Amino acid sequence: MIRTAEFVSPGHPDKICDRISDKILDACLEQDSESRVAIETAGGHGQVHLTGEITTNAEPLDYQGIVRSVCGEEILTTTNIVKQSNFIKQGVDVGGAGDQGIMVGYACDENDEYVPQEYYMARHLCKFLYERFPYDGKTQITTDDHWITHIVTSFQNVEKEQLEQSVVEYMDFAVDDIKIHCNPAGDWTQGGFDADAGLTGRKLVVDNYGPRVPIGGGAYSGKDPSKVDRSAAYMARHIALKELKEKNLSECWVYLSYAIGEKEPLQSTATDGKTVWDISDRYSVYPNEIIDFLGLKKPIYYETSQWGAYGNGFEWDK
Among the listed residues 43, 51, 53, the one whose alpha carbon sits nearest the alpha carbon of residue 76: 43
Examine residue 178 and state whether it is found in any structural domain, yes or no.
Answer: yes
pLDDT at position 88: 87
pLDDT at position 269: 98
Domain boundary among 191, 223, 252: 191
Shared-domain flag, residues 221 and 105? yes
Shared-domain flag, residues 166 and 254? no
Among the listed residues 85, 84, 83, 88, the one whose alpha carbon sits nearest the alpha carbon of residue 99: 88
Domain boundary among 137, 159, 191: 191
Residue 179: C-alpha distances to residues 20, 148, 152, 182 (Å): 36, 9, 8, 10
Examine residue 79 and state whether it is found in any structural domain, yes or no.
Answer: no
Shared-domain flag, residues 290 and 243? yes
DSSP H helices in the chain: 13-31, 63-71, 86-92, 117-132, 160-171, 192-195, 204-207, 228-246, 287-294, 301-307
Domain boundary among 191, 226, 247: 191
pLDDT at position 222: 98
Q: Which helix (H) or strand (E) holds 107?
A: strand 101-108
Shared-domain flag, residues 106 and 222? yes
pLDDT at position 176: 77
Shared-domain flag, residues 105 and 233? yes
Task: Find how far residue 238's CA is from the centre of its chain.
Answer: 15
Examine residue 294 and state whether it is found in any structural domain, yes or no.
Answer: yes
CATH for 172: 3.30.300.10
pLDDT at position 290: 98
Shared-domain flag, residues 106 and 252? yes
CA distance 315 to 313: 7
Shared-domain flag, residues 222 and 171? no
Q: How many domains would you assign to the chain?
A: 2
pLDDT at position 173: 67
Local mean pLDDT, 10-residue blocks, the chain (318 residues): 98 98 98 97 97 96 97 94 90 90 97 98 98 98 94 98 95 81 97 96 97 95 96 98 98 97 96 97 96 98 97 96
Shared-domain flag, residues 158 and 277? no
Q: Which helix (H) or strand (E) holds 104?
A: strand 101-108
Predicted TM-score of the model (pTM): 0.96
pLDDT at position 73: 86
The DSSP result for 166-213, as a single string, is HHHHHH-S--TTSEEEESTT------HHHH--EETTS-HHHHTT-TTS
In the three-class reduction of DSSP (H, G, I as helix; E, B as strand; rest coil), residue 97 is classed as: strand
Shared-domain flag, residues 107 and 220? yes
Examine residue 93 and state whether it is found in any structural domain, yes or no.
Answer: no
Shared-domain flag, residues 124 and 168? yes
Domain containing 157 equals 2-8+117-191
